[in-house]
Amino acid sequence: MPELPEVETVRRGLNQLTLNQNITGGDVLLNRTIAYPFSVDEFIQGIQGRAIIAWHRRGKYLLAELSPGAGYLGVHLRMTGQLLWLHRDEPLHKHTRVRLFFGDQQELRFVDQRTFGQMWWVPSKMQVESVITGLAKLAADPFAPEFTVEYLAAKLKNRRRPIKTALLDQSVVAGLGNIYADEALFKCGVLPETLCTDLQPQQIEQLRKVIIEVLETSIAAGGTTFSNFLNVKGINGNYGGVAWVYNRAGEPCRVCHNVIQRIRLAGRSSHFCPQCQS
Ligand SMILES: [Zn+2]
């Protein structure tokens, strides 16, 4: 599943390739990918003839600001969504769900095997959060100034649930998923099962710091190697080579050489070093 670094990598690619060019039309191959408006024709009419001024990111949501007065185009990649900038002659992948056409025979193609991905057109007269309702519940982005130690401490206060589970909750931290939650917990030496209520103030301070560090490292590597993540040019990231624990069960810890373990927590795999994390 694409997490913050992958979505950020896609955003940067889109800002390099798609800006200030008119969307000449589109083709929706799977109607339910369009979460709003309910009419696919209305979706296409809303974005047609408009240009994208800038792509923004909030958590794992991408928001394209359309030419003045035309609202926003929202995209969530969910489990397997990919946005690819391609020539229109490129053969259609069988999981292609939406095509947005631009000049010079270019297109932005939304490919999504599991079909959980979503797109929205938010008309300018409507509040973005009222259409893309997930945004209203979203916590602060780890790179936003409001993501302070106090903010994170308040989010974790009185929560008797494992810290790993809390980190996956988008209303606690926006943008983290399984990979970077495991990596951040390793870097601050905290076991995934540790209850939020048992964390010491200095551990929360350290956790905030390493969340930002881990995400920055992955963005610099162009996103993850794991899963089917591709950037807009169809290239996988490089983060896997430097991962501390994620997907490394049975392999030696890069710090202490003990064997990395994997447990199931809230239905997800958690990877950790029993020596470095306590
Ligand atoms: Zn270790």
**Digitized pLDDT (tens) for each residue of the chain, 278 residues in all:** 899 999 999 999 999 999 999 999 999 999 999 999 999 999 999 999 999 999 999 999 999 999 989 999 999 999 999 999 999 999 999 999 999 999 999 999 999 999 999 999 999 999 999 999 999 999 999 999 999 999 999 999 988 999 999 999 999 999 999 999 999 999 999 999 999 999 999 999 999 999 999 999 999 999 998 878 999 999 999 998 889 999 999 999 999 999 999 999 989 999 999 999 99
Give the predicted TM-score (pTM) of the model.
Answer: 0.96
Q: Compute the CA torsion angle 147, 63, 229, 45 (nearest 10 deg).
A: 160
Tell how far the Cα of 177 is from the centroid of ligand 1, in angstroms: 22
Q: Which two tokens stand for residue 4?
A: 């913050």
Helix (H, G, I), strand (E, B) or coil at 227: coil
Tell how far the Cα of 204 is from the centroid of ligand 1, in angstroms: 20
Query: Helical H runs in 25-112?
Result: 40-47
Residue 56 known to bind ligand: no
Residue 264 known to bind ligand: no
Helix (H, G, I), strand (E, B) or coil at 260: coil
Residue 114 known to bind ligand: yes
Tell how far the Cα of 248 is from the centroid of ligand 1, in angstroms: 12
Which amino acids are annotated catalytic? 2-3, 60, 268
∠ CA 79-160-155, rounded to 5°: 65
Separation between Cα atoms, residue 64 and residue 51, nearest integer Å: 9
